[in-house]
Amino acid sequence: MAHAVISCLHANLTAVEAVLEDIDRQGIETITCLGDLVGYGPQPNEVVQLVRERAIPTCQGCWDEDIIDGLNACECSYPSQLAERRGHRAHHWTAERMTDENKAFLASLPMTLRRDRLLFVHGSPNSQHEYLLPDMSAFAALERVETAKADTLFCGHTHQPYVRELSGGSIRVTVEQAGSEGTTKQELTLPMRRIVNAGSVGEPRHGDTKATYVIHNDTTGEVTIREVEYDVAKTCQAIVDAGLPEVFAWRLRHGFEYAERADDASHVCER
């Protein structure tokens, strides 16, 4: 059975519709969403409503929490003060336009979802705001999966899709009994674990403008990262028309995060 995992929709209705159509064309009936339905994009209510209509099981993302609990709830870091001000501007824009019914839906979302030994989170099992980057230490990555009692951990948040296999290896322990010259050697072999990042439907940052999601074969365990083209220009124009920071449209056109390091970015063209 094929199972689709989507994440980071970010109020980009055109991208969400394209991905769901791609999933439907393949006859995939089971979908799990890893959150961040809103934020940055111009159609927050429309995207939340579509997820609700499709009855897609969804985790609460950091942006979803942010809209419900306020800016102080978000622990996400920004690369500069300028980027932080843009993020706050997008927060206020989104919060003012969300319906009470859709806000209540975001508030109802669970932090995690589980299917047998598959665990679904937005950031990590510890927090919606923790980034499980592909280059984090193998020990830390394995710890996140193992303590969550999962074989495969599905996450988003980074907007960069990847599949990382973590070999647990083995642990050897020598036990000495007091009053005895004998020793006992024990060996524990840890099984293979995996972290699967679904990337982003609504705001890809992997160097390409295509929306990404993953397909998991529940029988074989095989994971496929899938890219879907959509009308990027349409969403970019909607961002500009909505009065959101134009740099959000720039990011969509280029497929990576615009991360200036200086507060004064007057020398940078945002278009």
Tens-digit pLDDT profile for residues 43-101 = 999 999 999 999 999 999 999 999 998 765 555 566 667 777 888 899 999 999 999 99
pLDDT above 60 (res 105): yes
Per-residue model confidence (pLDDT) at position 88? 86
Q: Helix or strand or coil: residue 63?
A: helix
The share of the chain scoring above pLDDT 70, in percent, equals 83
Of 187-196, 233-242, 245-254, the range with the lowest mean pLDDT is: 187-196
State the burial class of residue 258 (Cβ atoms within 10 Å of its Cβ: 0-12, 13-18, 19+).
Answer: middle
The four Cα atoms 131, 156, 154, 33 give a dihedral, to 10 degrees, of: 150
Q: Which amino acid does the sequence have at 254?
A: H
State the burial class of residue 131 (Cβ atoms within 10 Å of its Cβ: 0-12, 13-18, 19+).
Answer: middle
What contacts 157, CB < 8 A, 6 or more positions away?
Answer: 7, 8, 34, 36, 61, 62, 122, 123, 128, 129, 130, 131, 132
Per-residue model confidence (pLDDT) at position 268? 39
Q: Helix or strand or coil: residue 192?
A: coil
E strand or H helix that includes residue 236: helix 232-242
Of 28-37, 108-117, 167-176, 217-226, the range with the lowest mean pLDDT is: 167-176
Per-residue model confidence (pLDDT) at position 269? 35
Nearest in space to 145 (alpha carbons), one of 130, 126, 129: 126
pLDDT above 90 (res 243): yes
Tens-digit pLDDT profile for residues 5-27 = 999 999 999 999 999 999 999 99
Using the structure block, give the residue that is written with the tokens 């890219």.
Answer: 227
Choice between 246 and 170, residue whose per-residue pLDDT is larger: 246
CA of residue 24 relative to chain centroid, distance: 21
Nearest in space to 214 (alpha carbons), one of 203, 200, 230, 198: 198
Q: Which amino acid does the sequence have at 202?
A: G
Question: 265 pLDDT band (50/70/90 cuts)?
Answer: very low
Q: What average pLDDT does the structure give for the chain? A: 88
Per-residue model confidence (pLDDT) at position 266? 41
CB 128 within 8 A of CB 111: yes
Q: Helix or strand or coil: residue 49?
A: helix
Tens-digit pLDDT profile for residues 125-165 = 999 999 999 999 888 898 899 889 999 999 999 999 999 99
In eight-state DSSP terms, residue 4 is E
